[in-house]
Structure 1
Amino acid sequence: MNGRRWGVALALWLVLASAAGAGERHALLVGVAKLEQLAQAEVLSGVDNDIDLAVEMARDWGVTPARRQVLARRAGADAPPTSDALKSAFDRLLREVHAGDEVLLYLAGHGTQQPIGLAGDIGELDGLDEVFLLADSTPWSAQRGSVGRALVDNDLRERLAVLTRLGVFVWLIVDACHAGTMARGGIDDGWATDEWTAVTVRRLAPEVLGIDRQRWSQALAQSLTSVRRTLRRLPGLSSSGLADGVEMPPIAAFYAVHEAGDALEVALRPNGRRVGLFTWKLKSTFDALRQGKDAAPTFEDLARAVLAAYGEMPAFVPRPLFEGSDWRRRLWPVAH
């Protein structure tokens, strides 16, 4: 979408939100612990604990059970985290939201990459789309040109665009690797702190899915132009996730890692409980802000507080990335 259209959408959102007054809050929480069609993928036992933390955070953010959807293979979930269930959940959101509402979209599980195809997004200079794998995702098909039944970054952006064009603010949280690199192996034995020990990464290497990246990279190199999107970033934050001069709709995206990083799943000390490091640290920071002296912290306050918490960790820990707009939006009304 070009800058003019985003500008029109943003202006419309401001008018509608003003007319509607304070909106409702909704949550769609997706946790994929096991890839049922991909036996080589490690089971992420920490994802169920992450969903517990996400449910608590959604509740404390003001989401009622009636406006919360949980997709996971666990007791109390609304549906399994499959492709069809996710589509149905997005469809339900579209039926229920109104201008001025706010949506928390949380994704935890394995990430990977796939070739964009010769007619793909030229903004992906490495020729690869980021992919969030769902419970019923299937291996790469050269005939289809994609991993089956997965959530591709382009599809996610389109779904978010539909919501924001309706005047809805989206808080996106992704605790997954979104740039799996073939050169990386497992967890280094030294990846530990006084609070936790790293046990795995939330990444499935593309070759496990049957993708010959070298072959596709060579083909794409002949077709892609040298276009690069330059992000306007504050230290660790981005005022826009699109090209320079383009307004973003109301959104705040919290990613566990930068494009070249691996999201860590860790075992907490002393009980060994497994969680996504990013989800755990985000939740504890969120709780600290709720209990703090500032009655109305913003999304920027939360993002910077998470960055500060990561600043106290060893240098080997991959740092999170924050992109979006509307950073001055309040996390809660003044009296929460």
Structure 2
Amino acid sequence: MRRHRRSPFIVLIVATFLAWGAPPVLAARYALLVGVSDYPNTSAFKPLRGPRNDVERMRRILSGRRFDATNITVLADGIGGAEQPTRKNILAALERLATQAKAGDFVYLHFSGHGSQQPALRLPPGADPEPDASSEIFLPIDVGHWDGKRAAVENAIADHELIAILKRIIAKDTFVWSVFDACHSATLMRSGDQDVRVRQVPPEALGIPESAWAEARKQARERGTQTRGAAAEDPLHIDSQNPAGRGRYVSFYGAQTTEEAPEMPMPLGLSAGDPRKRLHGVLSYTLAEALESLDGISYRQLSEFILQRYATQNISRKPTPAFSGSGLDAPVFGSAGGGPVLRQWAVEKRDGVAVVNAGLLSQVSEGAILGLFAAPQAKDSERIAEAKVVSTDIFESRIELLPNADGKTPALPNAAYARMLRPNISFKLRVAQPATPASDDKAGQLVRTALEAVRSRTSDAARFEWVGWGKPADVRLHVEQGRLWFLPAAGALVKDVPGAAATPSVAVKGAVQDLQSVLGKSLDRIAKATRLMRAVQGVGTLKPAAGLEIKLTRLPGGKTGAGEPLRPGGTPQLTAGDVVRFEIANKTPSAVDVTLLYVDAAYGITTLFPDQGQLNRIGRGDTLRSVDLNPDTGGIKLTDDTLGSERLLVLAVPARPQGGTVDFGFLAQAGIVARGDARTETEDWFAAAVFEGGSPQSTRSGPGGLRAEGAVARVFAWEVLAADKASPNASKHH
């Protein structure tokens, strides 16, 4: 289609940057934060409420990351003291950065607001030729409508304008990190949540006529004819502009271009109407969450965390955040990386109450257990006390010290530091009911009756929370065209798109008892898959694997050869018929027990390894290879049985001396395999979380047992697309 392209907003900037050398020594840190909420010049599309919150939160975070307040420029409406995010002010701020930044400096750019597209007409010399005839645009507060004389949307900022300035900044040997929490694509999606809005404006709302698109397509064809067969020229001219080759670039964006970037009340874990909720762009909030929670990681690890948070909160089968750039393996903000991720915060006394400088944004919630230490450099074995979080807000929490083994409660020292021991992860699945059906809506009435029966199940009290239509939820039910659709939190309904991943649904037909059974089983399946991802989060996907090396390789169409490496931290697009080959090398000091689980787009869970009765222990120095397990395909064969976002989970636990193996195969969606021996504490923790939906702290070990046993979890995500000749009888995984 003419208005859809594979690259996300401004992705062509990233595509032009080459991988330059080692990261520079940071001399100064600059930031430009742009948030556009209201659009007073037009009523053709809805204003947003989240960008101003995104900007305020990022300003606070950057202030704690050695950004001088005088070097942080804020352009946002609704924020006291900030200039308006007009086209003139945004471009002027970028020009100042291009002038001020020097070799070794760090530049952070954050854009929150609406995006769209316009016909690629009258491009300046040297601009991207736009073969699909469209240019991405960001909409400032003073955006207008299509100006036929200028062949552009009034006051919009086009991608080629940003590219020109960013080239100049990077050519000065800087490190640039840009975040675009906006999108522009018009997709076949709907949102029934009154609190969820998408940061996308269809070009029609800007008054762009069809004649302009026709002319743009004509010019694109002419440009294609003129450039066909010519070698691609590097528009950055890196060799001449940057012989030292130090500057690098990283870009995070809220969605692929065929997707929508939503804003919604965050955190999602709080109940609807909780005063602590604030509207945020999902990418902006999740990024802030990561920066408040983690340190000493790379941009690639940061992207892994963001993808994992999207999965654990069932934010959406879409959008898929995208991450690109030559500096993905550099440490975030230039901090020293390579060591374990240590989450700790200062504790202070306020009117006799112990307060920790971390809250919901740092993933600290009521019921979590913290360890207290006398010094920030103290070893884990030097813990002086444990404390329970009794209340929390966005940035801080109040704690109560717990009795020691002797039953006595220690006094809080004058100086103390808290570290997370056992997070209190919510395993309830919040389900939003469909809108009240009309009296003549037979399908809606049937769903309503079946749903009432499902809600009455007494066993569901600890597993489900039911909310009304239009309220934020993990899963939202929607009835349309005789089907019951299971929408994710961001409310994307996709249907009737050839080759695309449709929203999961079931037909509304037959007796109410039949629908009740189908509805109950479907919700159980969704809940189980979602809780599994949250349980993995409880293990900690960013903990170093301590010598466990995992390599994935894609074999397009299952063909033999070296293949293409797949790395965590991205969401590559794979095709039905592809084979994913894996190797897991154990370079740890001891044996490890490994389980591989596959979570498909329809919430199915399949055990890839081990098979029933198969030993899953990898000895010290040994390697597990998929080609040895499955010589026929060499790995995981993807089919079109399910299409969309799918994930491979690798769970590894150090072998217990004189103990049996730890095998998580019982988590498979198809059912529990009968076992003759008792589960380990680690297995019990996952079982309670996934099957019962209960708090891990109610089990024998809790997450502390996981930490002690050294469990490691890694998540690899990809999107499976349809292929023209995918075998309908092929096995999905073996």
Give the alignment's TM-score, normalised by structure 2: 0.38
Cα deviation per residue 1:229-273 (whole Å; 9 max; x = unaligned)? Answer: xxxxxxxxxxxx999xx9995110000001111110112343252
Q: What is the match of residue 103 of structure 2?
A: 99
1:264 aligns with 2:256: no
Equivalent of 2:176, from 167, 170, 184? 170
Q: What is the match of residue 300 of structure 1?
A: 300
Q: What is the match of residue 285 of structure 1?
A: 290
Q: What is the match of residue 216 of structure 2?
A: 220
1:53 aligns with 2:60: no
- Cα pair 1:242 1:248 within 8 Å, conserved: no
Shift of 1:314: 5.1
Q: What is the match of residue 188 of structure 1?
A: 191
Q: What is the match of residue 206 of structure 1?
A: 203
Letter in 2 for 1:223: Q
Secondary structure of 1:223's counterpart equals: helix
Shift of 1:92: 2.4
The 1:248/1:134 distance shift into structure 2, 3 A limit, reads: farther
For residues 316 and 69 of structure 2, what CA distance do their matches in structure 1 show?
A: 39
Q: For structure 1, list consecutive stretches of 5 or more residues without a partner in the other structure.
A: 192-196, 229-240, 291-295
The 1:122/1:82 distance shift into structure 2, 3 A limit, reads: closer
Q: What is the match of residue 236 of structure 1?
A: none
CA RMSD across the alignment = 3.2
Report 1 or 2 for greater relative contact order, CA contacts < 8 Å, sequence distance ≥ 6.
1
Cα deviation per residue 1:209-239 (whole Å; 9 max; x = unaligned)? Answer: 1102x433333333322789xxxxxxxxxxx
Equivalent of 1:333, from 329, 332, 335? 335
Shift of 1:317: 3.1
The 1:242/1:84 distance shift into structure 2, 3 A limit, reads: closer
For residues 155 and 57 of structure 2, what CA distance do their matches in structure 1 show?
A: 26
The 1:39/1:168 distance shift into structure 2, 3 A limit, reads: same
For residues 113 and 289 of structure 2, what CA distance do their matches in structure 1 show?
A: 20
Q: What is the match of residue 483 of structure 2?
A: none
Once the two structures are overlaid, the 10-residue window that deviates more, 299-308 or 325-334, is 325-334
- Cα pair 1:203 1:263 within 8 Å, conserved: yes
For residues 329 and 180 of structure 2, what CA distance do their matches in structure 1 show?
A: 21
Give the alignment's TM-score, normalised by structure 1: 0.79
The 1:297/1:42 distance shift into structure 2, 3 A limit, reads: same
- Cα pair 2:36 2:51 within 8 Å, conserved: yes
- Cα pair 1:171 1:253 within 8 Å, conserved: yes
Secondary structure of 2:219's counterpart equals: coil
Q: Percent identity?
A: 26
Q: What is the match of residue 322 of structure 1?
A: 323
The 1:137/1:45 distance shift into structure 2, 3 A limit, reads: same
- Cα pair 1:248 1:325 within 8 Å, conserved: no
Secondary structure of 1:80's counterpart equals: coil
For residues 78 and 67 of structure 2, what CA distance do their matches in structure 1 show?
A: 20
Cα deviation per residue 1:9-42 (whole Å; 9 max; x = unaligned)? Answer: 957xx7xx86xx4321111000001112112221
- Cα pair 2:180 2:254 within 8 Å, conserved: yes
Letter in 1 for 2:298: T
Once the two structures are overlaid, the 10-residue window that deviates more, 296-305 or 74-83, is 74-83
The 1:223/1:249 distance shift into structure 2, 3 A limit, reads: farther
Higher radius of gyration, 1 or 2: 2
Q: For structure 2, list consecutive stretches of 5 or more residues without a partner in the other structure.
A: 1-11, 229-233, 240-244, 343-734
Q: What is the match of residue 474 of structure 2?
A: none
Letter in 2 for 1:311: A
The 1:74/1:6 distance shift into structure 2, 3 A limit, reads: closer
